[in-house]
Structure 1
Amino acid sequence: MSSLVRAASLTNYSEVARASGLDPMRMLLDAGLSPSVLREPDLMIPVENVALLLQASAAQSGNASFGLCMAEQRLLSNLGAVGMLIRDQPTLRDSLNVLMRYQTLLNGSLSLMIEEFDDVVVIREELRPGNAQQPTRQRIELALGVMLRLMRQFLGAEWQPRRVCLSHAAPRDLGAHRRLMGRTIEFDHDFNCIVCARRDLDMRNPWADPAMARYAQQMLDASAPAPAPGAAVLDDVRRAVLLLLPSGRCTIKQVAQYLGVVCRTVQRRLAEHGQTFSSMVNDIRKELATRHVLQGDRPLAEVSSLLGFSAPSGLSRWFHHEFGCSAKHSRAERRRADAPPERSEGEVTPERSEDEATLGRSDADPELARK
């Protein structure tokens, strides 16, 4: 089943597309989206189509920071009723807790985790595994950019995070990244996150309005669809597994603790949907392996860590069992398939005439040169 995202995720798309030399209406249609979605922010649309749109827009415009540029003018109001509730919380910490609670109403493919270590907070955002043919760079940069915009509405426009980490490689032009994310950016990291001071989360919100917060809460409670029994827990377990795998702490005990329930509850809910904890972890590992081994270029030792293995040998044995060959062989086959075909010596290319080809050979062959 496809994950869904609010159409408001495309806020500012038309403006960035036109500035990048694209026809936004044509791009939307090519991605399987009606241009009318831009006028219906609460409409839920398939994440896959949004991913295709952002990927194609970045590729055709040559703007590697397309998604990040879309985040530059985002406001809390773009998040609808959830944004209203976030805006009127007493602290940023309370606002982030609200965002975590209602994340699925905004974007069903995005997972959010907040980890605190002494005086430092790590806000992690990860995209749920899906079609490995769709790179995640644009979507994750859009998500992190929106999060930074949200935080600055509480902490001030000049506030800067201690660090922003991105799991993909750096683009050639870092202008948009430094403009929105600051100058302390780390690429090729194990996961995507924003690092800030713990005290930032406890800053009081002088504009908090408890009455408006209650009103927004009532709106959400009245409009939020009731999930199928156990479905919410099932989705939450997937999110927790995705976030905990790279840390090496992805056990059912840790997942249950993250969800605030006991292990038996997790086991029971998974069993109701014909799954076990180990089968869910394995399914997510397979999707991540397709992304990192077949589509990515990270060293396999790093990939083993991202998939929660303590050593590369663990990845090697598991990959061979699941895919019938080694990870190294699979990656080599993919690179061979992606490589342009080699041209045999003397072969005439479509761009060159027979005379040009002969002339080229004459330059290198004295016998031909004399003819």
Structure 2
Amino acid sequence: METMLRSIAMSGYFDTARRLGLNPIDLVQRLGIDPAALANPDERVPAAACCRLLELTAEMASCPSFALRMAETRQKFGTGVINVLLAHKRTLRDALLAAAEFRHLLNEALAVYIEDVGETVTIREELVVDPGTPTRQAIELAVGVLARHSSALLGNHWKPRSVHFTHCGPADQTFHRRFFACPLEFGSDFNGFVCAASELDYPNPAADPELVRYAESLAKPLNASNASNADSIALEVRKAIYLLLPLEQGTVEYAARHLRLSVRTLQRRLASADTSFSELVEEVRGELAVRYMSNARYPIGRVAALLGYNQQGSFTNWFNARFGMTPRDWRNRQGK
């Protein structure tokens, strides 16, 4: 089943492309996307095609900050039931948890995870699309939109300590520094933000519990209908593994907790989709191995840890069995 997203996630694409002197209709059609569907915020379009569209547009415009320029157009939460719900939640933490709960009505490819460590919080975002799909621009769009929405909710109280990306940074980071107004870390272990826990729990001055309850009453039936689709469970578990594996939490127990399911229910639903948790872990581990090993800044021992191996030797054995060569040999071949 192809992973989809609502066209509202690509809001700002047409205007941003035109400002940079491009013909967005031509580019959209070149990627096999219906321009009318992309312009309709309620339509659903293929996530992988949108990722490739963003990369192509950034390349054609010679603008590595293209996705952030799209995000800059998001002055506030948009219209629609889900955006009303998020905009009026009590805190940013509540809004992020609601975004995760209603993920089926937003962007099926996007996963969000909040990691609390004392007084510090890490907000992780991950895009799960077909292996080999370029996601640099799409990730920057997702993180950029999160920054804009967080600022809309908290105003001057949104002051992240740092923003992180797993990919390498552009040669000129001027736009990135101005957009985020906080330290940038490229080539990181994750995509997202590190901020003070107090920011996530600061009261939203626009919070309206009655409006939230009304929006939830409309959204929950739609969300349940999408979530009950048997084909979606494998994707949801894959997204959970992407988020949890680098945290040494890539177990069925942690995944079930993240998805608010019992272990038995999770396993039963995976079986109905003709897969299993162990099979999905193997798939995700292979995809992440290519991602991390492709970054020469990551020592092999670090890659092993990010993939859930305490011993580098165990990782080497697994890697050799999967890719037919040692991690060092694989990396040497990539460098040629």
Provide TM-score, normalisation by structure 2.
0.91
Residues 181, 311 of structure 1: alpha-carbon distance in 2 compared, 3 angstrom cutoff: farther
Q: Does structure 1 retain, via aligned residues, the 8 Å contact 2:113–2:123?
A: yes
Q: Say whether residues 1:122 and 2:117 are aligned partners.
A: no
Q: Say whether residues 1:239 and 2:206 are aligned partners.
A: no
Partner residue in 1 for 2:194? 195
Deviations 1:324-367 (A, max 9, x none): 2333334444444xxxxxxxxxxxxxxxxxxxxxxxxxxxxxxx
Q: Does structure 2 retain, via aligned residues, the 8 Å contact 1:76–1:84?
A: no
SS in 2 for 1:164: strand
Residues 15, 311 of structure 1: alpha-carbon distance in 2 compared, 3 angstrom cutoff: farther
Residues 277, 330 of structure 1: alpha-carbon distance in 2 compared, 3 angstrom cutoff: same
Residues 68, 229 of structure 1: alpha-carbon distance in 2 compared, 3 angstrom cutoff: closer
Shift of 1:310: 2.2
Q: Distance in 1 between matches of 2:72 and 2:251?
A: 37
Residues 249, 209 of structure 1: alpha-carbon distance in 2 compared, 3 angstrom cutoff: closer
Q: Distance in 2 between matches of 1:230 and 1:48?
A: 21
Q: Say whether residues 1:175 and 2:168 are aligned partners.
A: no
Query: Which letter does structure 2 place at the counterpart of 1:64?
Result: P
Partner residue in 1 for 2:47? 47
Q: Does structure 2 retain, via aligned residues, the 8 Å contact 1:129–1:284?
A: no
Partner residue in 2 for 1:345? none
Q: Does structure 1 retain, via aligned residues, the 8 Å contact 2:187–2:295?
A: no
Q: Say whether residues 1:99 and 2:93 are aligned partners.
A: no
Q: Distance in 2 between matches of 1:251 and 1:131?
A: 22
SS in 2 for 1:190: coil
SS in 1 for 2:195: strand
Partner residue in 1 for 2:215? 216
Shift of 1:129: 4.9
Deviations 1:39-88 (A, max 9, x none): 30111100111011001111121111111111112145436321110111
Q: Does structure 2 retain, via aligned residues, the 8 Å contact 1:129–1:288?
A: no
Q: Distance in 2 between matches of 1:87 and 1:23?
A: 33
- The higher radius of gyration belongs to 1
SS in 2 for 1:271: helix
Q: Distance in 2 between matches of 1:67 and 1:103?
A: 21
Q: Say whether residues 1:327 and 2:322 are aligned partners.
A: no
Q: Does structure 2 retain, via aligned residues, the 8 Å contact 1:246–1:306?
A: yes
Q: Distance in 1 between matches of 2:156 and 2:12?
A: 19
Shift of 1:195: 1.3
The percentage of counterpart residues that share the same residue type is: 36
Query: Which letter does structure 2 place at the counterpart of 1:281?
Result: V
Aligned pairs for 1:347-358 (under 5 A) are none
Residues 220, 261 of structure 1: alpha-carbon distance in 2 compared, 3 angstrom cutoff: closer
Shift of 1:139: 0.7
Partner residue in 2 for 1:156? 155
Q: Distance in 1 between matches of 2:74 and 2:283?
A: 35
Shift of 1:273: 2.6
Shift of 1:255: 2.1
Q: Distance in 2 between matches of 1:263 and 1:152?
A: 37
Q: Distance in 2 between matches of 1:257 and 1:158?
A: 30
Q: Distance in 2 between matches of 1:172 and 1:104?
A: 36
Partner residue in 1 for 2:67? 67
Query: Which letter does structure 1 place at the counterpart of 2:192?
Result: C
Query: Which letter does structure 1 place at the counterpart of 2:188?
Result: H
Shift of 1:190: 0.7
Q: Distance in 1 between matches of 2:290 and 2:79?
A: 32
Tell me the matched-pair count: 334
Shift of 1:93: 1.9
Shift of 1:230: 5.4
Shift of 1:260: 3.6
Residues 104, 19 of structure 1: alpha-carbon distance in 2 compared, 3 angstrom cutoff: same
Query: Which letter does structure 2 place at the counterpart of 1:195?
Result: V
Q: Does structure 2 retain, via aligned residues, the 8 Å contact 1:76–1:83?
A: no
More relative contact order in 1 or in 2 (CA 8 Å, sep 6+)? 2
Further displaced range: 21-30 or 268-277: 268-277
Q: Distance in 1 between matches of 2:268 and 2:34?
A: 41
Shift of 1:167: 0.8
Query: Which letter does structure 1 place at the counterpart of 2:215?
Result: A
Q: Distance in 1 between matches of 2:261 and 2:226?
A: 20
Q: Does structure 2 retain, via aligned residues, the 8 Å contact 1:245–1:308?
A: yes
Query: Which letter does structure 1 place at the counterpart of 2:159?
Result: Q
Shift of 1:313: 2.5
Provide TM-score, normalisation by structure 1.
0.83
CA RMSD of aligned residues (A): 2.2
Shift of 1:229: 6.0
Query: Which letter does structure 2 place at the counterpart of 1:171?
Result: P
Q: Distance in 1 between matches of 2:109 and 2:238?
A: 10
Aligned pairs for 1:221-300 (under 5 A) are 221-224=220-223, 225-228=225-228, 233-293=233-293, 296-299=295-298, 300=300
Residues 167, 180 of structure 1: alpha-carbon distance in 2 compared, 3 angstrom cutoff: same
Shift of 1:172: 1.2
Residues 141, 78 of structure 1: alpha-carbon distance in 2 compared, 3 angstrom cutoff: same
